Structure 1
Amino acid sequence: MSKDQPTSGSRLGRRNDPERREKIIQACLQVIAEVGVTGTSHRKVAAQAGVPLGAMTYYFDGMQDLLHSAFSELATRVSDDFERLMDTATDKQSACEKVYERILQASSGYDDELVLSHELYTLATREPAFRTITSEWMRRSRVSLERHFDPLTARLLDATIEGVTIHRALDAQPRDPEEIRAAIARVTGVPSFSS
């Protein structure tokens, strides 16, 4: 391929530096976690990434492209992690345990995933172009769950994961982890999972 031919991830056929592009994407996620989508700008992301401001338009066709790339990266990472987690389950009982672990981790607030997820949900609610990301994220979650549960149970369990995670994270009062077990047991019909 000649230097003049466009390559994936580059604009106008310019040479692509995947490490710099990835650095900008990670910086964008950090900025969104700190100030939200509405507070995110090319200037802030460039400063966080330690790259010249001109690099932003070199790698991305505007803010929408950058946000779409950043949130796609987030969704892929979280989906990959969930897939690996569910792959370690050997039966319905252990799959329920893995879902329990996931909800505890996701609602802990120890990393930026919860904030970033909510920023994506809000953006996808307003901007249909971002629903491709959330739709694919939900589809991958259901596929991981369908390794252990029928499709309807997988869909309901996926919604339970999201809902319980949000409630636990946003409730001002501490929540009993046994509520998670009870919710999973009711959705999946695995009574021995509930203590």
Structure 2
Amino acid sequence: MTGSNRGPNDPLRRERILDAALDVIAEHGAIKVTYRRIAAAAGVPLGSLTYYFDDMQHLLTEAFTRLAESVSSRYGALLTAARTPEEAQEAVVEIICGKVWGTDRNLLLSYELYAFATRHPELRTVMRSWMQASRDSLARHFDPLTARALDALVEGFSIHNSVDARPTDRAGVAAVVRAVVDRRTAPTAAGPGLRE
């Protein structure tokens, strides 16, 4: 151990700092995050942040990684528990309609991650890792192209439903998931569901 003032009675200080960083990002946006705000939210001395993290970029990367791993873990657990194709489809519906991925806070933090990563390319690794973990979970039950489509559907529906005045209900989401999974019954250019 390097010279530290954290003491043996606070073994979870680093995790508290990361959780506080996510709280500050959710409240103020990644662009307005400061060491002082994070330290105050975590209830730790300001020096603790520089002890654990080289700079703000390092801290934000670790915080967003913590978010991605937490959401991916819950996402993956639902798909791991599925034993049949029908249960796997229901798990996807639950991910979209439940609170596994789509809590207001997680959605807000994911928007922040996307925006921040466009200006800080090193954060794209976190996003790619998150997408890969999601696709790997889906690939337990679906072919690679379907897993990719469902992954995009999860994020798209979650984002749209968070702002839509008339969000798609669970039955509608389930119908779309079924259509993606069973592409043989999806509408064709000459079939129903498409405008002339």
**TM-score (structure 1 length as normaliser):** 0.85
State the AA in 2 paired with 1:52.
P
Report how many residues are paired: 181
Aligned partner of residue 100 in structure 1, secondary structure: helix
Q: CA deviation at 1:106?
A: 4.5
Deviation of 1:108 (Å): 8.8
1:133 aligns with 2:126: yes
Equivalent residues in 2 for 1:80-99 (5 A)? 80-99=73-92
TM-score by length of 2: 0.85
Determine helix, strand or coil for the equivalent of 1:157. helix
Q: 1:106·1:165 contact (CA, 8 Å) conserved in 2? A: no
> What secondary structure, in the 3-state scheme, does the structure 2 residue paired with 1:147 have?
coil
Amino acid at match of 2:89: C
Distance 2:147 2:163 in 1: 24
Q: Does 1:34 align with 2:27?
A: yes
Q: For 1:16-49, what per-residue CA distance to the aligned partner results, in whole angstroms no more than 9, with x for missing partners? A: 7651111100100111111111121111000000
Kept in 2: contact 1:107–1:114 (CA 8 A): no
Counterpart contact for 1:28–1:70, Cα < 8 Å: yes
When the two chains are superposed, the root-mean-square deviation of aligned CA atoms in Å is: 2.2
**2:146 aligned with 1:168:** no
Contact (CA 8 Å) 1:83, 1:144: kept in 2 or not? yes
Q: Which moved more, 1:118-127 or 1:167-176?
A: 167-176
Separation in 2, partners of 1:22, 1:79: 18
* Cα distance between partner residues in 2 of 1:144 and 1:108: 14
Structure 1 gaps, min length 5: 4-12
